Structure 1
Amino acid sequence: MNISEVCIRRPVLTTLMTATLIVFGAFAYRLLPVAALPAVDFPTIQITATLPGASPETMAASVASPIERQLSTISGISSMTSSSSLGSTQITIQFDLGRNIDGASLDVQTALAVAQRRLPVEMTTPPFFRKVNPGDFPVLYVSMRSDTLLLSAVNDYAETVLAPQLSQLPGVAQVLVYGAQKFAVRVQVDPTAAAARNISLDDIRSVVAKANSSAPVGILQGKEQSVTLLATGAMTHAADYRDVVVAYRNGAPIRLNEVARVIDSVENDRIATWFNDSRAIVLAIQRQPDANTVAVVDMVRAKLPVMRAQIPPAIQMQPLFDRSLSIRAAVFDVQETLAIAVSLVIMVIFLFLRKVSATIIPALAVPVSLIGTCAAMYAFGFSINNMTLLALTLSVGFVVDDAIVMLENIVRHIEGGMRPFEAALKGSREIGFTIISITFSLIAVFIPVLLMGGMVGRVFREFAVAVSVAIIVSGFVSLTLTPMLCARVLKSHDSHEKQNFVLRAFERMFESWLRTYEWTLDRVLAHKPIMLGVTLATIAGTIWLYIVVPKGFFPTEDTGYMIGITEGKTDIAFPAMVEHQRKVADLVRADNAVAYVNSTVGSGGPNTVGNSGRMLVALKPRNERDSLGEIIARLRRTANVVPGIQIFFQPIQNINLGGRLNKSQYQYTLQSNDTDSLYRIAPELRDKISKLDGLLDVTTDLYIKNPQVTVEVDREKAAVYGVSIDQVRQELYNAFGSRQVATIYTPANDYPVILESLPEFRAGPNDLNRIYLKTTNGTMVPLSAVTHFTRTVGPLLVNHQGQQPAVTISFNLAPGLSLGQAVDAIQKLERDERLPATIATGFQGTAQVFQDSLRGQGILILAAIFAAYVVLGVLYESFIHPITIISGLPSAGIGAILTLMLFKMDLSVIAMIGIVMLVGIVKKNAIMMIDFALDRRRVGLSAEAAIREAALLRFRPIMMTTFAAIFGTLPIALGTGAGAELRQPLGVAVVGGLVLSQLLTLYITPVIYLYLDRFDRMIKRRLEPQLEEVGEAPSKPAVAAE
């Protein structure tokens, strides 16, 4: 007694099993988190080190290199990059996907502790790290602005109220403050006035540093009572410092306001952020690499009303750039697509079966399979995301296949005169092995996907598991629920049953299809060599098309957000950069597709150098604007018209693979310890790459023409005056380094006191002549007396890749050019240029992962075919029949690739998974034919008669299952909603492959079956005499002689 017979005879058992599956699945669905994609983030850690005033070269040599050497001893690092700018170094480490982020952070902490001993002693703040990918976009921004309060006051609430509370939320890696305007007191010295009074800048530094001491003074201890001593005179604002006595001259005090302008200001006055055209403080919330975006945003939004009550009403607080909105929209769109697919599949079933009761039976397989899959998804720790919902949507088309095959076989017996109960028992026994074959052969093709490594494997693992589980559940339903319902719901055949006009018309159309197929099949069987040639041609055509088709990675999604990175001249001053940035922002905001703009300029926050800015652009809803690609192309023309500044646009994506954000989407890196050759060749190569067809926004991160002034100390003259080299450095730092010399402590925060020259005394190199040094005899001499100045150029930014100096050339793609074509063109250019052996090259980020995935695509397809062959071989105990079954696969491949090319889509990773699915789906037609033909051979039919009868008898279920698969996938192929760009290639590939394979496999399978059957019998005839000699001749099969 098989499982189907048990379920037919025990309907209560079957019903309760199905109900249990539905209840657990529905409950699990409510608990599944929502995400854009499966968790595919590389474990990433960012290290930040600061040494105020140090040049980029100094930071790279004395800070970045020692830390990198120590970090290189950590296992599991996939890439390490660093960027050193004026006074700051950022090191980004990406670990292998299998590396635990917490364990990696402990290793990083240990490495930093060891490296600390090799860092400059002037580094008063040790390097620190965070578990965050700086190349990843924040999941939410919060804008804070006020019409009445100073920005420094708004900044206080941002840094002391909002940021600490948000940082403590689970999944939040860090909260960055863009446009930070932290309060500070600035002491701006007039160096000539100070020198006239025989006062050096270092004298002023020493006095200011001691003017606001918070050192403890002790307690008074008596016999009965103790009293705490407090020293008064705490200074909190500029006014408190102005009357500080700097020195006495001729018995008269010289106060600070006589030699300096003391003002209430901000810590960094060379950074600014705007929300549209209003100055603002913006909090950028970044998630941890393994955190769920939607969950983090939900927690932040739930916390905002609580924090709103903690800040003054005069501060306007507004969430911006909510990354979860596009994720929710994409998930909702897939859910709609799923509902449409279910409806279309049920319509197909009804048209073929023409009865409501018969339609309901296989249709039940859809919700049971999908809901049951949700239970497994929850057990595996998956989420509701584009991949899992895409898997469920695609499953709609073929989870009904098994039920249709079971139902159609039972109905055939009922129409032959059997009672439904007997027909269910007999039909389920006959078709059970076919269903098992279809189910396991479908699952087999996903085994290679489950075993894929790297980022692509992570993305599609949940997809493959969801599809496999849905197939298993549908197979279980087809063997249990479907035959039980057939036995109790279907009625005995009534040849006089009336049907409406539409159903009668469809049945007449189907009968004409069947007659046409019968006529054409007879002609094909009469001219088998022609169809064999067609089969071989499809194999050759598939291979050729695979070679020539444009290949890509992941399609560009329209998330509704994009980023623009601005770049001014290397030596641009901050006020000029502000003016240019605002003009560009106005041009961007003027575009009808733009909802709002958040703009930041200056070194700090999201920018690494002072000549760069960043512009986050939110677009209007999709139905009110053009596509994202059209908008970027338009803004590339309209926003790049301001002299002295250039802006590079790129869309914000849900998949980010780089360790840092570049000006364009794709990166090509040159590395070498020979910096002279590196810095000479990189610009030349950039210029040649920019001339390649289809490459846009070609740029580099090489800034080596930054104007510099080298102050060289004449040691002999310095010795004459008693001036030390350190004294020269200190005086320069005091005048031009915005040096923090003291700290103001308050109950809520601490604020710096900054020493510098007046702005008019630090406007250009000539102002160096207005700096004075104090000699050993107390007199003042000009800086030029002991030094001379040399004007040079040097780097504004020094980048390392894998501990070596590196230059990255980034680029975007023009419409119509695939990433594969761009990579091939750049590699050809590299070969033609014959770069020196000392320079290593390679693609980084998305382009690098694309190359890795490209190497495995062909192997993936071959592995899927081999897995299917093995499973079929085991099931049929034959080496020959699996070849017959998979012979139609090339027709699906050629159909998929031709359809992609017709719609001008790349063969992306998504489309490739669609082709893998076709390997599983297309086989079912052949399985139904071969399984039935083998049964007919056992009762004595010839091979040709058996396969002809099988093809005609199984024509209806073949057409039903194929149309169900096509209509179940069609909504994906035609989708236009949120995230449709990611899903469409898969739908297009599956629909195109199914349409062509449906036309060809109906003829290829019978012909290949006959050829291979003849080959099988020929081999057996040759082996029989040898086997008879050893007494092992097999019994002859009961088939008619041909």
Structure 2
Amino acid sequence: MALVERSMKRPVTVTMITVAALLFGAVSLSRLPLNLLPDITYPSLTIQTEYADAAPAEIEKLITEPLEEAVSVVPGLKLLRSVSRPGVSEITLEFAWKTNMDFAALDVREKIDLVNLPGDADKPVLLRYDPSLDPILRVGLSGDKDLVTLRYLGERVLKKDLESLEGVASVRIRGGLEEEIHVAVDEKKLAALGIPIRTVSDFLMNQNLNAAGGRLRDRDAEFLVRTTNEFENMDDIRQTVLFEEANRRVKLEDVASISRGYKEREVVSRVRGKDAVELAIYKEGNANTVQVARAVKARIEWLNKGFEDDVRADVLFDQSTFIEKSIQEVRSNAIVGGLLAVFVLFLFLKDRRSTAVISLVIPISILTTFFAMQQFGVSLNIMSFGGLALGVGMLVDNAIVVLEAINRHRTGGKSVWDATLDGASEVSRAVTASTLTTVAVFLPIIFVEGIAGQIFRDQALTVTASLVVSLIAALTLIPVLASVGSRARGPLHIDAGDGDTPESGDGATGPKTPAKPKRRLPGFVRVIAKPFQLLFAGIRFLLVWLGRFLAVLLPGTIFRILAIVFKILGRALDVVIRPVQAVFDRAWGFVARAYPSILESALTRPGRTLTLTLIVAALAIATVPRLGVELVPPFTQGEFAFDLELPPGTPLQKTADRVHELEKGLANDSEIGIYFTSVGESPDLGSARNQRRENIGQINIAV
């Protein structure tokens, strides 16, 4: 095969390409994002519209039906369903797979803008399902301070500080009490003055604003006029003039009492049964989950040192912990699998050099696969690591076949060069065909539609890339390593130039150009230049020997020391493996002796052999209905949650009291690490907004 021969004649090129591939793979490994699962996008959109204090019937008639009629003609729409609840309308649109959801969202927004909704209704919000929208961390801020102070610390300190970190997209806060100013109007006084209450409401709405006042131009300058009218304290609000006529001036404090208060609670958050403020941290789309989580946790620890002793921020939920454990487990399994594969190879080959040559294919293929993963946009996740672990055993198959063919030709009496070239070329078609058949099994998975295709795409690409790289390594690097120290057959030809014959020893002929006589410098110049010549000669001597030391002596000494160390370790390993090797040889000898008789019995009685095969196949098929069918096997992160829903119309406080009764039963359980609850809001996985109702609650428990 031409590829094998060219690789053997250019070992330096093959080595440099291998080193470059390893470097590219190492750099790509450091840049690959680390996630739990591949990016999963479901082709659906949700239109959420809020209409405060409206009944479900009015929601359906005034909001849901007009929106449904408008968006039902969007191209690619497969299914439309809606839910009308008190104060909220939700319309879910499901599209066909392979639909460009960016363009679909633009079409839906265009249709929504054409619908006339009630003036008091909020603007419809378009939500898109995406698991990456789930928070990677949940932090609880609790302590002995009042809920207003905790909310202030969360918004003014934690939120601003954490959002400045690289990779953090946003921080959302829920729970606690939000401070606001209450204006209690005395209706009797307003009636006596003849001022309608609507006037007070409109007056306060138009106050506390800064507005632009235009421009003033002078000969040499231009000034911007800005009207400042924001309240700075409670006295500014009290002294605000509400009504002025002739000599009568009515201030706001004359008809109302102003006091500090807080907004009506819509969400109640608790940590370990105590009221708290919860912060949900979201990462940017292309950020590494583990790195962002580490940076956030480090900053939280630093912020805790600046808080008072009675206030503390604790991590309630950490998505990166499960990701790190899962990835570490898959990585360790892949490493153990590779080591076991090398050990089994050594038991069969009984040669350290051959085993080392084949073992090089595993790290080279894996590191080069990381470069391919980055080019294809594949992240480090359970599926891609599973693909690497799956391919570790198959990576050495091609190398084993090539090296076995080379050894067979060498035992036949051929030289090292001839045996390597003939052996690798002989099996090149077979190993290429076997690799392509395996690739043909995995590669079509990337064309599968739906969530299954998105999940298993990374695994298919990873296995395919690693197998292709191992095939290239088996046909190029393995022959180069196997032929180290040998020479190519046939004489080495040197092409001469056009009509010129290079000098080749004493027999060289051809025209000689007479040498030009050297010009000698004057005597005084030679005397002056002599010290400089000696200095430059000394520097040249030092540089030459320094180069020899760094390029020849030092690497040679290091390699010699490493060779001695590996030789000692090899002998020590032989002593350890010798008992295992003896047991393996006996077992393999027994199998080798028993196999001919088993094969002869199967060939002489084909009817019985086929009958047993059919019985085993029938039993296997009979067990298929008993097997469960699911997309992804169930797994646990050591955390779970359960939702509570009371009858519609249940007040928030009653729902909170019911959840608190359940929390009391969790406080005395020693197996529970931490638990936190949310009342009035339930997070929807993969959604940018949470479901908010007064009669719902959620309890999250970490064991």
Which residue number in structure 2 is paired with residue 878 of structure 1? none
Contact 1:188 1:262 in 2 (8 A): yes
Q: Write out aligned runs for 1:236-315 (5 A).
A: 237=234, 263-286=259-282, 293-294=289-290, 297=293
> C-alpha distance in 2, partners of 1:458/1:176?
29
1:516-548 residue CA offsets vs partner (Å, 9 max, x unmatched): 111100110111122223344454444443344
> Match of 2:700, as an amino acid?
L
| Counterpart check, 1:38 vs 2:122 | no
> 1:97 offset after TM fit, Å?
5.4
> C-alpha distance in 2, partners of 1:374/1:233?
57
> Match of 2:645, as an amino acid?
E
Cα distance change, pair 589–442 in 1 and its aligned pair in 2 (3 A)? farther
> C-alpha distance in 1, partners of 2:479/2:321?
44
Contact 1:242 1:257 in 2 (8 A): no
> 1:399 offset after TM fit, Å?
0.9
Which residue number in structure 1 is paired with residue 699 of structure 2? 615
* Match of residue 183, structure 1, among 179, 184, 191: 179
Which residue number in structure 1 is paired with residue 426 of structure 2? 430
DSSP 3-state at the match of 1:324: helix
Contact 1:413 1:423 in 2 (8 A): yes
1:674-716 residue CA offsets vs partner (Å, 9 max, x unmatched): xxxxxxxxxxxxxxxxxxxxxxxxxxxxxxxxxxxxxxxxxxx
Q: Write out aligned runs for 1:402-801 (5 A).
A: 402-415=398-411, 419-488=415-484, 500-602=578-680, 606-619=690-703
> C-alpha distance in 1, partners of 2:649/2:184?
23
| Counterpart check, 1:353 vs 2:349 | yes
Cα distance change, pair 151–167 in 1 and its aligned pair in 2 (3 A)? same
DSSP 3-state at the match of 1:57: helix
> C-alpha distance in 1, partners of 2:336/2:458?
23
> C-alpha distance in 2, partners of 1:442/1:583?
58
> C-alpha distance in 2, partners of 1:76/1:201?
60
Contact 2:443 2:464 in 1 (8 A): no
1:320-359 residue CA offsets vs partner (Å, 9 max, x unmatched): 3121221122112211111111111111111111221221
> C-alpha distance in 2, partners of 1:240/1:545?
78
Which residue number in structure 1 is paired with residue 200 of structure 2? 207
Cα distance change, pair 267–244 in 1 and its aligned pair in 2 (3 A)? farther
> C-alpha distance in 2, partners of 1:80/1:196?
54
Contact 1:41 1:97 in 2 (8 A): no
Which residue number in structure 2 is paired with residue 58 of structure 1? 58
Cα distance change, pair 227–488 in 1 and its aligned pair in 2 (3 A)? closer
DSSP 3-state at the match of 1:284: strand
Contact 1:60 1:89 in 2 (8 A): yes
Cα distance change, pair 152–55 in 1 and its aligned pair in 2 (3 A)? farther
> C-alpha distance in 2, partners of 1:305/1:411?
61
> Match of 1:363, as an amino acid?
S
Contact 1:48 1:88 in 2 (8 A): yes
> C-alpha distance in 2, partners of 1:530/1:476?
44
Which residue number in structure 2 is paired with residue 4 of structure 1? 4
- Work out which of the two has the higher radius of gyration on C-alpha atoms and give 1 or 2: 2
> C-alpha distance in 2, partners of 1:522/1:201?
115
Contact 2:98 2:449 in 1 (8 A): no
> C-alpha distance in 1, partners of 2:217/2:133?
62
Which residue number in structure 1 is paired with residue 119 of structure 2? 121
Contact 1:179 1:282 in 2 (8 A): yes
> C-alpha distance in 2, partners of 1:500/1:223?
99
> 1:200 offset after TM fit, Å?
13
Contact 2:190 2:196 in 1 (8 A): no
Cα distance change, pair 257–284 in 1 and its aligned pair in 2 (3 A)? farther
Which residue number in structure 2 is paired with residue 685 of structure 1? none
Contact 1:38 1:459 in 2 (8 A): yes
> C-alpha distance in 2, partners of 1:57/1:41?
33
Which residue number in structure 1 is paired with residue 138 of structure 2? 141
DSSP 3-state at the match of 2:114: helix
> C-alpha distance in 2, partners of 1:61/1:166?
43
Which residue number in structure 2 is paired with residue 371 of structure 1? 367
Contact 2:42 2:129 in 1 (8 A): no
DSSP 3-state at the match of 2:623: helix
Contact 1:601 1:607 in 2 (8 A): no
> 1:86 offset after TM fit, Å?
3.5
> C-alpha distance in 2, partners of 1:34/1:25?
16
1:1-28 residue CA offsets vs partner (Å, 9 max, x unmatched): 5433443454334333333322222222
Which residue number in structure 1 is paired with residue 327 of structure 2? 331
TM-score (norm 1): 0.51
> C-alpha distance in 1, partners of 2:265/2:695?
15
> Match of 2:134, as an amino acid?
F
Q: Percent identity?
A: 26
1:745-789 residue CA offsets vs partner (Å, 9 max, x unmatched): xxxxxxxxxxxxxxxxxxxxxxxxxxxxxxxxxxxxxxxxxxxxx
Contact 2:77 2:93 in 1 (8 A): yes
> Match of 1:514, as an amino acid?
A
Cα distance change, pair 229–547 in 1 and its aligned pair in 2 (3 A)? closer
Does 587-596 or 171-180 show the bigger shift? Answer: 171-180
Does 151-160 or 369-378 show the bigger shift? Answer: 151-160
> C-alpha distance in 2, partners of 1:268/1:262?
17
Contact 2:97 2:449 in 1 (8 A): no
Which residue number in structure 2 is paired with residue 399 of structure 1? 395
> 1:241 offset after TM fit, Å?
5.8
> Match of 1:376, as an amino acid?
A
DSSP 3-state at the match of 2:640: strand
> C-alpha distance in 2, partners of 1:413/1:387?
41
> Match of 1:140, as an amino acid?
L
Contact 1:174 1:285 in 2 (8 A): yes
Contact 1:369 1:474 in 2 (8 A): yes
Contact 1:34 1:383 in 2 (8 A): yes
Does 388-397 or 442-451 show the bigger shift? Answer: 442-451
> C-alpha distance in 2, partners of 1:226/1:436?
78
DSSP 3-state at the match of 1:36: coil
Contact 1:187 1:261 in 2 (8 A): yes
> 1:444 offset after TM fit, Å?
1.3
User: Paired residues, what number?
Assistant: 602
**Residue ranges of structure 2 left out of the alignment (5+ in a row):** 487-573, 684-689
Which residue number in structure 2 is paired with residue 112 of structure 1? 112
> C-alpha distance in 1, partners of 2:306/2:178?
19
> Match of 1:327, as an amino acid?
I
> Match of 1:476, as an amino acid?
I
> Match of 1:113, as an amino acid?
D
> C-alpha distance in 1, partners of 2:617/2:84?
54
DSSP 3-state at the match of 1:530: helix
> Match of 2:401, as an amino acid?
V
1:915-971 residue CA offsets vs partner (Å, 9 max, x unmatched): xxxxxxxxxxxxxxxxxxxxxxxxxxxxxxxxxxxxxxxxxxxxxxxxxxxxxxxxx
Q: Write out aligned runs for 1:889-1038 (5 A).
A: none
**Residue ranges of structure 1 left out of the alignment (5+ in a row):** 491-496, 620-1042
> Match of 2:111, as an amino acid?
A
> C-alpha distance in 1, partners of 2:198/2:292?
45
